[in-house]
Amino acid sequence: MTEVATNGKPIESVWDFPRPPRLERVDWRIRVVHGGATVVDAPWAWRVLETSQPPAYYVSPELVADGALRPSDHRPTFCEWKGVATYADVVGGDGRVAEGAAWTYREPTPPFGEIAGCWAFYAQRLDECLVDDERVEPNPGSFYGGWITANVTGPFKGAPGTSHW
């Protein structure tokens, strides 16, 4: 029998996630709130599962609130699996800006083609991120953007001292 966490989802260890990473669609409600405004309220998302990291969730651009994203000064970065990521600032309802808090792959590598133009968000930089009705814990550190829920177990790459993993 599969062990289930308090959020009703099967328990998953990030050390059982694949390398290279895998993309999967989930029919879970994804929400992002910043500055009192709902930035995202999506009925489904893509998630990327990669060894040692909590999942990163990607939502279709039409599910992001109008005016919530603006171009960022954050330099593009390169992922060996997904390609070149570009960034956006997230503008909250109160005008507060979370710089470089969202990213997208405009032209991802073929295995990740379905997330082209979709947006992911750093929980570390935003007021609240939720999977279904569970508030997520951000991935430790500031580089990885994974979301930790009750069913995802570590240890997680990203905290100080883990860059050599």
Model confidence band, residue 161 (pLDDT cutoffs 50, 70, 90)? confident
Domains defined for the chain, CATH in brackets: 12-148 (2.170.150.40)
Is-contact 45 26, C-beta < 8 A?
A: yes
Query: What number is the average pLDDT over the span 85-101?
Result: 97
Alpha-carbon distances, residue 52 vs 23, 35, 55 (angstroms): 15, 31, 10
* CA–CA gap between residue 67 and residue 63 (Å, rounded): 12
Residue 142 has pLDDT above 90, yes or no: no
Confidence at 1, pLDDT banded by 50, 70, 90: confident
| Span 54-81, pLDDT tens digits | 999 999 999 999 999 999 999 999 999 9
Distance from chain centroid for Cα 63: 14
pLDDT of residue 26: 98
Could you give the dihedral angle defined by the CA atoms of residues 165, 104, 135 and 43, in that order, rounded to the nearest 10 degrees?
-130
Distance CA 108, CA 116 (A): 6
